[in-house]
């Protein structure tokens, strides 16, 4: 393997990039309904659009409560890259919309200057098991059910930049999971049925109409072996569902997005086991290059079945670790020295992160 190290270095520079996690598009774009093209109304609409973008980019609704952010919202046009008025046939009753694209660099600078996180475009996918009880029946929202509840939750997921999936609820799902299992939030059964979808998180929602015709919801998020529960209430179904997506986005953003004051050194040593062929090496380099926060991938030492890479990332070790956890290409391993037998003129190297390549 050492014989072709020079070839590998050349190939790593030429290797293409592959996407291994969900990439959220248009993070810095928002549309706001408007009644006219009046300047004053446009100013208000741009402020509303900027609020939406700031929450989506940070992943946190509390970002708007920071004093410098509140002050920036008084002059939202400073962050606008371009805007235009559009009409949507599917929203004809709302009339026209103001479409606004904000300057990514300016928005990110505003956030980082105030120690707020910038959640990248690559985000964890969440599987949603949602049951709606309208006092007449209980309905599980599956991938082929086009109902009001699904429209609401998908609209909220777009607003928050949280990729969602609904289950197929086909014969395979029905064999292991029933509507009553979701309604009872039977954890083991739900997680077993969810395993086929290979998502990073599972959101369970049970939303029901009370006898006063208001709505209530109970929510649970399963992610990285942890469980978090919360409730919601509202006079309408939409108001009861919104906190389900919103709270899930807040939790996942807190887990995956990092603020500038938590960034560590830009040099991260990553040891990858199971790299025992040219094909495996190319695949590994392509994967590491695909990580959004990694700007450079350089092999530092090669053995018969593993490679030590030096990654350049201004977001540091934790950000690289979290990004890799989103995919299914590398499995975390216990850290060990790179070489069991180290030449006299070299010292053993302990990697910052150690993984095994999934065959």
pLDDT tens for 131-168 read 999 999 999 999 888 889 999 999 999 999 999 999 99
Residue 154, judged by CB atoms within 10 A of its CB (0-12, 13-18, 19+), counts as: middle
14/271 Cα distance (integer angstroms): 21
pLDDT, average across residues 256-272 = 68
Looking at the predicted structure, is the pLDDT value of residue 315 above 90? Answer: no
Give me the phi and psi of 319, to 5 degrees please: -65, -40
Mean pLDDT of the chain: 84
- pLDDT band, residue 262 (cuts 50/70/90): very low
Structure-token match 């975390």, residue found: 332
Distances 221 to 21, 117, 301, 323 between C-alpha atoms, Å: 19, 21, 41, 19
Does residue 263 surpass a pLDDT of 60? Answer: no
178-182 mean pLDDT = 95
Check if the beta carbon of residue 240 is closer than 8 Å to that of residue 215: yes
Distance CA 145, CA 333 (A): 41
Neighbours of 258 (CB within 10 A): 21
CA 274 vs CA 33, 309, 322, 328: distances in Å:
53, 14, 21, 15
Q: Kind of pairing, strands 126-133 and 164-165?
A: parallel
pLDDT > 80? residue 126? yes
Report pLDDT digits (tens) over 321-346: 878 877 778 998 875 554 444 444 44
Report the C-alpha gap between 57 and 117 in whole angstroms.
8
- Return the beta strands (E) in the chain as ranges: 22-23, 29-34, 80-87, 96-102, 122-123, 126-133, 138-140, 164-165, 201-209, 215-223, 226-234, 267-273, 296-302, 306-312, 330-332, 353-357
Residues contacting 321, CB < 8 A, separation 6+: 353
Q: Does position 92 have pLDDT exceeding 80, yes or no? A: no
**Mean pLDDT of the 195-207 span:** 93
Per-residue pLDDT at 335: 59
- Segment 71-86 mean pLDDT: 94
Beta strands in 19-151 (DSSP E): 22-23, 29-34, 80-87, 96-102, 122-123, 126-133, 138-140
Q: How many CB atoms lie within 10 A of CB 78?
A: 13
Parallel/antiparallel/unpaired status of strands 201-209 and 126-133? parallel
How many Å apart are CA 114 and CA 68, to the nearest integer?
7
Query: What pTM value is reported for the model?
Result: 0.68
Give the pLDDT mean for 197-222: 93
| From 27-41, 43-57, 246-260, the region with the lowest mean pLDDT | 246-260
- In this structure, are residues 132 and 150 in contact, taking their beta carbons and an 8 Å threshold? no
Q: Which tokens belong to 165?
A: 């999936």
| Backbone phi, psi, residue 296, to 5° | -155, 140
Give the DSSP H or E segment for 253: helix 237-256
């Amino acid at each position: 393997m050492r014989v072709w190290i020079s070839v590998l270095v050349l190939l790593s520079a030429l290797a293409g990039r592959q996407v291994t996690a969900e990439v959220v598009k248009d993070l810095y774009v928002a549309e706001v309904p408007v009644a006219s093209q009046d300047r004053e109304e446009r100013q208000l609409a741009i402020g509303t659009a900027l609020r939406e973008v700031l929450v989506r980019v940070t992943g946190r609704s509390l970002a708007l409560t920071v004093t410098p952010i509140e002050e920036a919202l008084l002059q939202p046009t400073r962050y606008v890259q371009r805007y235009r008025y559009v009409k949507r046939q599917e929203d004809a009753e709302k009339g026209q919309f103001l479409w606004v694209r904000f300057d990514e660099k300016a928005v990110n600078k505003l956030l980082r200057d105030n120690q707020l996180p910038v959640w990248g475009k690559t985000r964890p996918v969440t599987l949603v098991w949602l049951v709606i009880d309208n006092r007449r029946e209980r309905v599980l929202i599956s991938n082929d059910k086009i109902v009001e509840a699904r429209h609401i939750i998908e609209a909220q997921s777009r607003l928050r930049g949280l990729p969602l999936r609904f289950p197929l609820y086909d014969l395979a799902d029905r064999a292991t999971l029933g509507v009553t299992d979701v309604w009872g939030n039977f954890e083991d059964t739900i997680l077993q049925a969810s395993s086929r979808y290979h998502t990073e998180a599972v959101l369970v929602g049970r939303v029901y109409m009370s006898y006063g015709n208001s709505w209530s919801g109970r929510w649970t998020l399963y992610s990285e072996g942890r469980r978090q529960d919360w409730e919601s209430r509202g006079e309408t179904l939409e108001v009861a569902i919104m906190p389900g997506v919103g709270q899930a986005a807040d939790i996942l953003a807190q887990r995956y997005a990092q603020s500038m004051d938590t960034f560590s050194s830009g040099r991260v040593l990553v040891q990858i086991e199971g790299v025992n062929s040219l094909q495996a090496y190319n695949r590994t380099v392509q994967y590491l290059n695909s990580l959004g926060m990694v700007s450079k991938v350089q092999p530092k030492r090669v053995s018969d079945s593993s490679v030590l890479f030096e990654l350049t990332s201004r977001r540091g070790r934790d950000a690289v670790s979290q990004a890799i956890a989103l995919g299914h290409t590398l499995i975390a391993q216990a850290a060990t020295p790179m070489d069991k037998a180290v030449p006299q003129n070299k010292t053993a190297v302990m990697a910052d992160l150690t993984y095994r390549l999934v065959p």
